[in-house]
């Protein structure tokens, strides 16, 4: 199992009730980690999966995870 | 933003009312015959509901980085001289500008095209979220909920 720091924003923060959490997971990618966390935070299922960043860089959902990363899950953005 | 702190070719996040004159002044250039300014304003309705105010949440480290990247792309792709943008965060009242994009160029065609490019990219790439506060007392994060028709 690897340890990750997960940060939630906007609608996701409301859905999880958390700004940040530490997660133990065997996930190999952000997609796998998100799928695991939906089971923990059922309200997330009401929201669209959108963008992900790893250590403050935009990333793809299948980017490889080593453990120790900070994973940022972004709801659909709505600037402007 | 209070004073003329808008260096040209830069992306900014502002936590107070945007000083439009200072923003525009820093984009002036004697080689430019065209200046295009886009402003996004807070309007009083969305999806059939009456909106009273808007709240913007911004993840600054990435918004600044990605915003700067968008400006560099525009400066690279279009025949323009200067381009800047500023986005608000926090609580905004109706009619307040939420975003400004300014582009200066020798000629108007490239200035219009680049301005359109920048605002379109800003709306889809920056980690910025908008929560509407409605007249009926509710609030909602815009475009975040799955549509009823979604099968995922």
pLDDT score for B150: 46
Band the pLDDT of B149: cuts 50, 70, 90: low
Beta bridge partner(s), residue B82:
B104
Range list of H helices, chain A? 10-16, 30-40
Query: Closest Cα of chain A to B29: distance in Å?
Result: 26
**Interface-testing mutation among B89, B117, B123, B127, with chain A (most A C-beta atoms within 10 A):** B127
Per DSSP, which regions of B67-127 are E strands? 82-88, 90-93, 97-105
The tens place of each residue's pLDDT in chain A, 80 residues long, gives 999 999 999 999 999 999 999 999 999 999 999 999 999 999 999 998 889 999 999 999 999 999 999 999 999 998 88
Query: Residue B130: its chain A contacts at CB < 8 A?
Result: 78-79
In 3D space, the residue among B96, B90, B82, B66 whose CA is nearest the CA of residue B28 turns out to be: B82
Q: Are B94 and B53 in contact (CB under 8 A)?
A: yes
**Domains annotated on chain A, with CATH:** 2-74 (3.10.20.30)
Model ipTM value: 0.90
Q: Are B95 and B88 in contact (CB under 8 A)?
A: no
What is the rounded radius of gyration, in angstroms, for the C-alpha atoms of chain B?
A: 17
**Domains annotated on chain B, with CATH:** 3-136 (3.90.1170.40)
pLDDT in tens, B70-88: 999 999 999 999 999 999 9
Q: Do residue A10 and residue B145 have CB atoms under 8 angstroms apart?
A: no
In this model, does residue B135 exceed pLDDT 90?
Answer: yes
- Residue linked to tokens 């219009």: B112
pLDDT score for B147: 73
User: Is A77 part of the contact surface with chain B (CB cutoff 8 Å)?
Assistant: yes
Beta carbons within 10 angstroms of residue B81's beta carbon: 20
| Burial (0-12, 13-18, 19+ Cβ within 10 Å), B14 | buried
Band the pLDDT of B131: cuts 50, 70, 90: very high
Partner residue opposite B61 with nearest CB, options A46, A56, A79: A56
The residue with greater pLDDT, B110 or B9, is: B110
pLDDT in tens, B46-69: 989 999 999 999 999 999 999 999
- Residue linked to tokens 């600054």: B60
Question: CB pairs below 8 Å between A and B: how many?
Answer: 73
pLDDT score for A14: 94
Residues B10 and B31: their CA atoms lie apart, in Å, by 19
Partner residue opposite B141 with nearest CB, options A51, A75, A79: A75
Does this model's pTM top 0.95? no
Beta carbons within 10 angstroms of residue B109's beta carbon: 12
Q: A39: Cβ–Cβ under 8 A, 6 or more apart, which residues?
A: none
């Amino acid at each position: 199992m690897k340890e990750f720091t997960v940060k939630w924003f906007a609608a996701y923060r409301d859905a999880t009730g958390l700004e940040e959490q530490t997660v133990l997971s065997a996930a190999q990618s952000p997609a796998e980690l998100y799928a695991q966390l939906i089971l923990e935070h059922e309200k997330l299922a009401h929201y669209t999966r959108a963008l992900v960043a790893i250590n403050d860089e935009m990333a793809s959902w299948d980017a490889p995870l080593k453990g120790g990363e900070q994973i940022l899950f972004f709801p659909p953005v709505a600037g402007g | 933003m209070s004073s003329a702190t808008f260096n040209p070719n830069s992306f900014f996040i502002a936590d107070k009312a945007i000083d439009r004159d200072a923003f525009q002044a820093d984009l002036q250039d004697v080689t430019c015959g065209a200046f295009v300014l886009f402003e996004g304003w807070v309007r009083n309705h969305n999806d059939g509901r009456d909106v009273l105010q808007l709240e913007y949440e911004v993840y600054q480290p990435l918004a600044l980085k990605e915003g700067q990247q968008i400006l560099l792309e525009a400066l690279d792709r279009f025949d323009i001289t200067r381009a800047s943008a500023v986005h608000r965060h926090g609580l905004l009242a109706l009619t307040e500008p939420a975003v400004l994009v300014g582009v200066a160029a020798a000629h108007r065609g490239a200035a219009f095209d680049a301005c359109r490019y920048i605002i379109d990219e800003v709306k889809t790439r920056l980690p910025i979220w908008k929560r509407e506060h409605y007249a009926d007392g509710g609030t909602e994060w815009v475009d975040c909920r799955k549509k009823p028709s979604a099968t995922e």
